[in-house]
């Protein structure tokens, strides 16, 4: 976990409500310098609304937003010490890659030699050296997104805002881009707010995760805290796979990797039959019918010789989280 230090970005009692009543209310969040914080949740939960208020693309109704202790709530987007990368790349098709990257630096009156040097260095960092003369339509989606991120980083923002930047990419490229973003973030020590609906993506890249639901924060914590110690049943169901087992006025939540499966019937245990076995690389997903309840278990592939579809088994739980109904 990244240790807490200087607060870079602060959202204080912020409200933003749309005409239809949707939006966010009473939002409070401290983001530390050099931290990568991901806001995750289903469509319509408010995560992009918060990102756009930070970037200045939506005015807030109440509260404040500060960077380095200074309010930015009244500033236009171009006056804020932030830069935003969208899902759609937003590169200018009639400009070369060099011209796309140089545009913001020219507006800030940087010398030509410095612009060229910084662009060359940035293209090395995003693994695209020699692409200066190409045009956006000559690049793949992943390459265009690299350039969009490079363009924002060249402006040296205090806070970089990323709105589902990899969602249009295929799965393999997404994974590569996550790793590269994490490496760049560490090298530059930049503060990033990342928005995604993909909980796996949030787990992979974040120092902390903000799990959102219907305009409120359900839980803020490290990936380990969110995964191992979900604060609510909603968080438990949203982050990772989870089995829910109801008993009386309580609900137990059990991760599939914490379901122990043993062959044969056992008196007093939870007994059932294996419905399906699916190989998922180095482990297998074993689904067990226990009466009307289906329990999912992840077990190492090397342990599969004891099991077959239709076979009788009993299950136990190594670790579980309890919630009130």
Q: Report pLDDT digits (tens) over 259-310.
A: 999 999 999 999 999 999 999 999 999 999 999 999 999 999 999 998 999 9
Dmax (CA) of the chain: 80
Average pLDDT over residues 71-90: 90
pLDDT-based confidence at residue 207 (cuts at 50, 70, 90): very high
For residue 162, CA distances in Å to 73, 143, 224 come to 19, 16, 22
User: What pLDDT score does 1 carry?
Assistant: 44
User: What pLDDT score does 160 carry?
Assistant: 95
Output the CATH code of domain 7-234: 3.40.50.300
Q: Is pLDDT of 20 > 70?
A: yes
Q: Is pLDDT of 314 > 50?
A: yes
Per-residue DSSP letters for 30-91?
EEETT-EEEEE-STTSSHHHHHHHHHTSS--SEEEEEETTEE-TTS-GGGSSEEEE-TT---
Q: What is the pTM of this model?
A: 0.88
State the number of CA atoms in the 13 A half-sphere of 116 facing the CB. 4
Average pLDDT over residues 195-216: 93
- Same fold flag, 7-234 and 242-324: no
Classify the C-alpha dihedral 225-227-229-231 as positive or negative: positive
User: What pLDDT score does 3 carry?
Assistant: 52
Q: How many CB atoms lie within 10 A of CB 68?
A: 14
Average pLDDT over residues 77-94: 88
CATH class of the domain defined by 242-324: mainly beta
Domains of the chain: which residue ranges?
A: 7-234, 242-324
User: What pLDDT score does 142 carry?
Assistant: 87
Question: For 86-142, how does the pLDDT look when each residue is reduced to its tens digit (9 = 90+)?
Answer: 877 788 999 999 999 999 888 888 899 999 999 999 999 888 999 999 999 999 988
Lowest mean pLDDT among 66-75, 85-94, 220-229, 274-283: 85-94
Q: What is the CA radius of gyration of the chain?
A: 24
CA atoms of 279 and 300, how far apart (whole Å): 10
């Amino acid at each position: 976990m990244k240790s807490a230090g200087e607060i870079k970005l602060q959202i204080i009692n912020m409200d933003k409500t749309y005409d239809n009543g949707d939006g966010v209310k009473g939002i409070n969040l401290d983001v530390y310098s050099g931290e990568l914080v991901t806001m995750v949740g289903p469509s319509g939960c408010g995560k992009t609304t918060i990102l756009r208020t930070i970037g200045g693309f939506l005015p807030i109704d109440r509260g404040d937003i500060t960077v380095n202790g200074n309010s930015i709530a009244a500033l236009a987007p171009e006056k804020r010490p932030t830069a935003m990368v969208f899902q759609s790349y937003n590169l200018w098709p009639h400009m070369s890659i060099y011209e796309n990257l140089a545009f913001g630096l020219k507006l800030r009156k940087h010398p030509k030699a410095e612009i060229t040097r910084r662009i060359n260095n940035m293209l090395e960092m995003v693994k695209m050296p020699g692409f200066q003369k190409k045009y956006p339509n000559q690049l793949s989606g992943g390459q265009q997104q690299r350039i969009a991120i490079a363009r924002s980083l060249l402006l040296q923002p205090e806070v970089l805002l990323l709105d589902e930047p990899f969602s249009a990419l295929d799965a393999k490229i997404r994974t590569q881009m996550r790793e590269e973003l994490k490496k760049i973030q560490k090298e530059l020590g930049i503060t990033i707010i990342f928005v995604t609906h993909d909980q796996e993506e949030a787990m992979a890249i974040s120092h902390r995760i903000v799990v959102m639901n219907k305009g409120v924060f359900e839980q803020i914590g490290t990936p380990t805290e969110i995964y191992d110690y979900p604060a609510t049943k909603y968080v438990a169901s949203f982050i990772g796979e989870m089995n829910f087992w109801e008993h009386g006025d309580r609900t137990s939540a059990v991760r599939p990797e914490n379901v122990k499966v043993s062959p044969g019937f056992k008196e007093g245990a939870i007994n059932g039959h294996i419905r399906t076995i699916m190989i998922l690389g180095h482990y297998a997903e074993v689904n067990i019918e226990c009466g009307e309840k289906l329990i999912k278990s992840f077990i190492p592939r090397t342990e599969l010789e004891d099991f077959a579809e239709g076979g009788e088994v009993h299950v136990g739980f190594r670790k579980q989280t309890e919630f009130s109904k």
